[in-house]
């Protein structure tokens, strides 16, 4: 190959990445609009437009020229700088993912997914797993078949974990969840046995929406989110959209009879948003200007939400402000009562309503089941019984029906296997990062002063700036000198909740 060809290929590659970025931007705006107040009557027109734009995107990624360029660039990897090299390798991964599966099977699978998501909704409403069972069976058969087409090392589930958390494996996750099972399950049992439930009624009084919105903005400002380069709106389900370093949007949801929900959603999404806002500008024109994985992204939301905002130190700073904004419902509430209330542990059936301690156990249940379904040790028809047994073993409660049990999450109906573990990884990465941050910064003192600046700056330097340039294992090792280590997470949970419950 001549150098000229190689330079042309690199030029075309960068141009193509720019087009994909523009298409992503447009699609995201349609989605943002739909979630934050666009007229319902436009739903059909919007979804048609999204479909057309995705078609453009697909043709931009999958075509003979792109394939030839990618192959040429892969042959010249050592002549590329780090940004181009990682961009090319990411694009090649994406290309293989899209092309190794025969087109007709991929289309049939997509049709199955949209059908199965609809059936799931119906099955959940009727609380009838039998309705959903044949669809889930088909989805899993496709995933197993696709794993053969795509190729994998070791366990076929490795492939699906890798889609959301590059480099993570069943071996690493087994070690992680084994420690969690061994330490968090007994900790929860001790808390339940103690029977000392914190007071929470003050959180469920009358909290006007307008005042909650002000409090959310105040909190975002303290955390270090730049509202000049982003915006906060309300949607049914809170989410963050980082379409560009200079255009990062997040949502929360206000309930007028609940103070904690919107504030904690704002803290959570704010963590995601601060990550997206602080990526190095040299990555801005590339597709690397985003979080590196679901797990690392989730670590940034969890560290602000749980490790920082739900800490005793920060509450001691923020409560006086909250009491001035909501004098009546918070009358007579002291820091200790607020701290214990907002950190209350209570086993529940629904994952998205779970507290900080039991949340990871919900994820462990889904991990064990996904692994079993993929390696054949769990049969789809046995799922309701398997589910209920695990909920009983780990959380000590038994779901009344399939709707509050095995049918509660949409993920499996959409073929999203390997996604759930990243939620627990996020909390574990957060604890590991906070541990190492604590060696350099007095975190408690900063939070007690409401001074997030040193904490956010540390995360900017260690995590945010790299965007997707460093992959999760590499990034965590670079910052902490070791790979994911569940010890820090379990230590953190034991210390925090033993303190709250006086164990
Ligand atoms: Zn999140």
Q: Are residues 92 and 217 in the same domain?
A: no
434 CA from centroid of ligand 1 (Å):
17
420, part of any domain: no
Q: Are residues 315 and 433 in the same domain?
A: yes
Which of 46, 70, 99 is where one domain is finished? 99
> Residues with beta carbon < 5 A to ion ligand 1?
301
Q: Are residues 461 and 319 in the same domain?
A: yes
Q: Are residues 92 and 233 in the same domain?
A: no
pLDDT beyond 60 at 3: no
Region 353-372: mean pLDDT is 97
So what's the pLDDT on residue 114?
A: 86
Which of 99, 116, 133 is where one domain is finished? 99
209, part of any domain: yes
Tokens of 173: 């996750």
496 CA from centroid of ligand 1 (Å):
21
**147-156 contacts, C-beta under 8 A, 24 or more apart:** 149/100, 149/101, 149/102, 150/96, 150/97, 150/100, 150/101, 151/100, 155/371, 155/374, 155/375, 156/374, 156/375
| 249 SS3 class | strand
Q: Are residues 321 and 441 in the same domain?
A: yes
299 CA from centroid of ligand 1 (Å):
8
Mind giving me the DSSP string for 391-431?
Answer: HHHHHS---SSSTTTTTS-SGGGGT--S-THHHHHHHHHHH
pLDDT beyond 60 at 482: yes
Q: What is the DSSP letter of 236?
A: S
Residues involved in catalysis: 269
262 CA from centroid of ligand 1 (Å):
14
Which residue segment(s) compose the domain that 69 sits in? 1-99
Tokens of 113: 């997914």
Q: Are residues 291 and 432 in the same domain?
A: yes
Q: What is the pLDDT of residues 144-179, one digit of tens each?
A: 999 999 999 999 999 999 999 999 999 999 999 999
Q: Are residues 66 and 211 in the same domain?
A: no
Structural domains of the chain, count: 2
For 466-496, b/e burial (b = at least 16 CB within 10 A) is bbbbbbbbebbeebbeeebbbebbbebbbeb
Q: Are residues 215 and 336 in the same domain?
A: yes
Q: Are residues 338 and 213 in the same domain?
A: yes
Residue 349 exposure: Cα atoms within 13 Å on the Cβ side:
16
468 CA from centroid of ligand 1 (Å):
17
Tokens of 58: 């697909």
108 CA from centroid of ligand 1 (Å):
31
Supply angle C-alpha 450, 278, 430, rounded to 5: 60
356, part of any domain: no
304, part of any domain: yes
311, part of any domain: yes
Q: What is the DSSP letter of 353?
A: G
Predicted TM-score (pTM) of this structure: 0.95
Dihedral sign of CA atoms 79, 83, 86, 90 in order: negative
Q: Which of 322, 332, 229, 239 is closest to 284 using CA atoms?
A: 229
266, part of any domain: yes
pLDDT band at 43 (very low <50, low <70, confident <90, very high): confident
268, part of any domain: yes
301 CA from centroid of ligand 1 (Å):
6
Answer for the pair 107, 146: CB distance below 8 angstroms, yes or no. Answer: no
Dihedral sign of CA atoms 474, 478, 483, 484 in order: negative
Mind giving me the DSSP string for 34-94?
Answer: HHTT--GGGHHHHHHHHHHHHHHHHHHHSSHHHHHHHHHHHHTGGGS-HHHHHHHHHHHHH
Q: Are residues 330 and 470 in the same domain?
A: yes
State the DSSP H helix or E strand holding residue 110, giving kind and residue range, or none if neither.
helix 103-126
Which of 99, 117, 138 is where one domain is finished? 99
Tokens of 42: 């436009």
285, part of any domain: yes
Region 223-246: mean pLDDT is 96
CA distances from 146 to 114, 271, 423 (A): 18, 35, 24
75 CA from centroid of ligand 1 (Å):
38
Instruction: Tell me the CATH number at 325.
Output: 1.10.1370.30
Q: What is the pLDDT of residues 297-355, one digit of tens each?
A: 999 999 999 999 999 999 999 999 999 999 999 999 999 999 999 999 999 999 999 99
pLDDT beyond 60 at 1: no
């Amino acid at each position: 190959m001549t150098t000229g060809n190689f330079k042309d290929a690199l030029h075309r590659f960068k141009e193509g990445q720019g087009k994909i970025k523009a298409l992503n931007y447009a699609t995201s705006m349609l989605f943002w609009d739909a979630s934050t107040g666009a007229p319902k009557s436009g739903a059909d027109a919007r979804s048609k437009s999204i479909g057309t734009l995705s078609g453009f995107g697909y043709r931009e990624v999958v075509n003979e020229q792109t394939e030839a360029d990618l192959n040429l660039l892969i042959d010249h990897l050592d002549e590329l700088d780090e940004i181009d090299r990682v961009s090319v390798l990411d694009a090649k991964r994406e290309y293989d993912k899209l092309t190794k599966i025969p087109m007709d099977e991929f289309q049939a699978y997509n049709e199955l997914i949209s059908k199965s998501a609809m059936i799931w909704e119906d099955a959940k409403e009727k609380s009838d797993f039998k309705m959903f069972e044949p669809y889930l069976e088909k989805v899993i058969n496709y995933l197993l078949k696709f794993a053969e087409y795509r190729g994998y090392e070791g366990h076929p589930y490795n492939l699906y974990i890798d889609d959301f958390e590059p480099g993570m494996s069943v071996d690493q996750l087994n070690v992680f969840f084994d420690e969690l099972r061994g330490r968090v399950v007994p900790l929860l049992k001790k808390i339940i046995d103690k029977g000392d439930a914190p007071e929470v009624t003050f959180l469920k009084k009358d909290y006007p929406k307008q005042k909650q919105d002000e409090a959310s903005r105040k909190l975002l400002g303290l955390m270090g989110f730049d509202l000049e380069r982003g915006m906060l709106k309300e949607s049914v389900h809170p989410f963050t959209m980082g379409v560009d370093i200079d255009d990062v949007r997040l949502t929360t949801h206000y309930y007028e009879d609940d103070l904690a929900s919107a504030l904690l959603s704002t803290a959570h999404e704010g963590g995601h948003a601060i990550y997206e806002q602080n990526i190095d500008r040299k990555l801005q024109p590339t597709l690397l200007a985003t979080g590196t994985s679901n797990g690392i992204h989730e670590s940034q939301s969890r560290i602000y939400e749980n490790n920082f905002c739900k800490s005793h130190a920060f509450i001691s700073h923020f409560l006086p402000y909250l009491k001035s904004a909501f004098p009546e419902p918070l009358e007579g509430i002291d820091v200790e009562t607020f701290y214990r209330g907002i950190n209350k542990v209570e086993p529940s059936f629904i994952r998205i309503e779970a507290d900080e301690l039991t949340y990871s156990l919900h994820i462990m249940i889904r991990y064990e089941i996904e692994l079993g379904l993929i390696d054949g040790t769990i049969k789809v028809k046995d799922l309701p019984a398997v589910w209920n047994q695990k909920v009983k073993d780990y959380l000590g409660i038994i779901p009344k029906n399939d709707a509050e049990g095995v049918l509660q999450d949409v993920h499996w109906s959409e073929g999203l296997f390997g996604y759930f573990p990243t939620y627990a990884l996020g909390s574990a990465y957060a604890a590991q990062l906070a541990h190492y941050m604590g060696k350099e910064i007095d975190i408690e003192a900063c939070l007690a002063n409401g001074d997030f600046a040193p904490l956010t700056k540390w995360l900017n330097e260690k995590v945010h700036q790299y965007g997707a340039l460093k992959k999760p294992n590499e990034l965590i090792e670079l910052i902490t000198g070791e790979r994911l280590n569940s010890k820090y997470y379990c230590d953190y949970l034991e210390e925090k909740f033993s303190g709250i419950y006086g164990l």
